[in-house]
Amino acid sequence: MYTNVHIPENGEAITIENGLLRVPNHPIIPFIEGDGIGVDVTPAMLMVVDAAVSKAYGSDRQIHWMEVYAGEKATQIYDSETWLPEETLEVFKQFKVGIKGPLTTPVGGGMRSLNVALRQVLDLYVCQRPVQWFTGVPTPVKKPSEVNMVVFRENSEDIYSGIEYQAGSEQAQKLISFLQSEMGVNNIRFTDLCGVGIKPVSKEGSQRLVRKAIQYAIDHDRASVTLVHKGNIMKYTEGAFKEWGYELAKEEFSAQLLNGGPWYKIENPKNGREIIIKDVIADSMLQQMLLRPAEYDVIATLNLNGDYLSDALSAQVGGIGIAPGANIGEKIAIFEATHGTAPKYAGLNKVNPSSVILSAEMMLRHMGWVEAADLLLKGISGAINAKTVTYDFERLMEGATLVTCSQFGECIIENM
Ligand SMILES: NC(=O)C1=CN([C@@H]2O[C@H](COP(=O)(O)OP(=O)(O)OC[C@H]3O[C@@H](n4cnc5c(N)ncnc54)[C@H](OP(=O)(O)O)[C@@H]3O)[C@@H](O)[C@H]2O)C=CC1
Ligand SMILES: O=C(O)CCC(=O)C(=O)O
Ligand SMILES: [Mg+2]
């Protein structure tokens, strides 16, 4: 059925029945190794997850990994022009849950992001990135334990839509002329060589993201949902995101004004506790999360803000080496590290594999395999407490033992 993807014989596909994920005891999980440090972190992740599943369930459960291709490896397996094979997309549609390493995107030209393409083509509209401190991880802030936020980043719209035209191109000139002659725009300062980008933000796209963020707060007993936007400047995109977010909170979750406004509150139907729905302008949020992190919990924001916020927040808990993530749609979920391909470290067996391992922890929880997920957390905490860590932590930690990427994986297993 597939050309270069070999379906494991003894595994079964995860399916969706009556809207719920049905996970067999021997699920087939597709994975993309990833470019750059993908060759280092992905094998470590596979090894650690297999060990956790085996420890949790013995021979009753096992993941049957199935490699699918994207990025440079796809060009080697398929042909030099094929970066994201059609069958990779088909596999994710068929098998529902997958995981990936990072993929390279050239800067300033060349092809558009494969990571973004996967999210858009498969409509994985939630990018969920939890940011939490593990005791003992060295960080630049004084109270990293106060950071416990979950970023819900809109993953399908905003300037990541890729509607962008190069300065001097016929399309850019045409668009500028249209804006001037038809739309009354008279403040594009240097029209001769001017790139143009368009930022689509829809009501439906904004509200489905905010709905997931509020539902997460309800399901996980969180204290607040903060809508982060730059609506003072981008009124009809970022500002509309905020308005539509509050509107949804009122219409679907019966939000009421909090102390006369401007913020709102809802009652958690599961336990009666109050969840505050508030908003903060994005630049202010960047200082708030450093100065007053304990006041923020679930964050709902647009694509670019979410990209910036998730890297900045991860620095507060030790860096992107330990920041996981997931791209989630109605039916399909692909888990992935927050970091990129870190090309200078590629193949050196040096970097921290925790980001993709914690992404796998999210994946196991999504599958309902909570015992294995808990073992991954226990293993990572244990390895950090034993101060056997990769270079990124070792350079900031007194008395630590430096280990390689794969050795860190082994330390995690020893500490499960
Ligand atoms: N989802 C994805 O696939 C993503 C892909 N990318 C792509 O990756 C490429 C490189 O992007 P770049 O901006 O350099 O960002 P990277 O995240 O790849 O690397 C930036 C820095 O972060 C640190 N870092 C990254 N990963 C780890 C890790 N596992 N362990 C420890 N430290 C880590 C390193 O810091 P130090 O130098 O201090 O050691 C590294 O130099 C680009 O092509 C970009 O488009 C970027 C982000 C996400
Ligand atoms: O797709 C890329 O190359 C970068 C994406 C990114 O930075 C992210 O999703 O966090
Ligand atoms: Mg990013």
Mean pLDDT by 10 residues, the chain (416 residues): 95 95 98 98 98 98 98 96 96 98 87 93 98 93 96 97 95 97 96 96 98 98 98 98 98 97 97 98 97 97 97 95 96 96 98 98 98 98 96 94 98 98
- Given this model, what pLDDT does residue 412 score? 98
101, 339 Cβ separation under 8 angstroms:
no
Of 401, 350, 325, give the one whose Cα is nearest residue 44.
Answer: 350
Query: Is beta strand 126-132 parallel, antiparallel or unpaired with respect to 97-100?
Result: unpaired
**160 noted as active-site residue:** yes
Characterize 208-228 residue by residue with b for buried, 16 or more Cβ atoms within 10 angstroms of its Cβ, and e for exposed. Answer: bbbbbbbebbbeeebebbbbb
- In this structure, the residues whose C-beta lies within 6 A of any atom of ligand 1 are 37, 41, 102-105, 115, 319-321, 336, 339-342, 351-352, 355, 392
349, 40 Cβ separation under 8 angstroms:
yes
**Residue 214 to residue 253: CA distance in whole angstroms:** 8
- Given this model, what pLDDT does residue 49 score? 98
Report pTM: 0.97
Provide the token pair at 20.
């719920």
Read off the DSSP letter of residue 239. Answer: I
Angle at 217 between CA 154 and CA 371, to 5 degrees: 100
Q: Would you tell me the crossing angle of helices 303-316 and 282-291 to the nearest 10 degrees?
A: 20
Q: Is-cis flag, bond preceding 106, omega within 30? A: no
167, 194 Cβ separation under 8 angstroms:
yes
- Given this model, what pLDDT does residue 132 score? 94
- The residue whose CA has the least distance to atom 15 of ligand 1 is 340
Characterize 117-137 residue by residue with b for buried, 16 or more Cβ atoms within 10 angstroms of its Cβ, and e for exposed. Answer: bbbbebebbbbbbbbbbbebb
**Residue 381 to residue 56: CA distance in whole angstroms:** 17
Q: How far does residue 102's CA lie from ligand 2's centre (Å)?
A: 8
**Residue 28 to residue 23: CA distance in whole angstroms:** 10
**73 noted as active-site residue:** no
- Nearest atom in ligand 1 to the alpha carbon of residue 344 is 41
* Ranges assigned E (strand) in 193-233: 196-197, 224-229
Phi, psi values for residue 22, rounded to 5°: -110, 115
Counting every residue written for the chain, the total comes to 416
- Given this model, what pLDDT does residue 109 score? 76
**307 noted as active-site residue:** yes
* Ranges assigned E (strand) in 43-95: 64-68
- The residue whose CA has the least distance to atom 41 of ligand 1 is 342
- In this structure, the residues whose C-beta lies within 6 A of any atom of ligand 2 are 105, 113, 115-116, 307, 338
Q: Would you tell me the crossing angle of helices 370-385 and 354-366 to the nearest 10 degrees?
A: 160
**230 noted as active-site residue:** yes
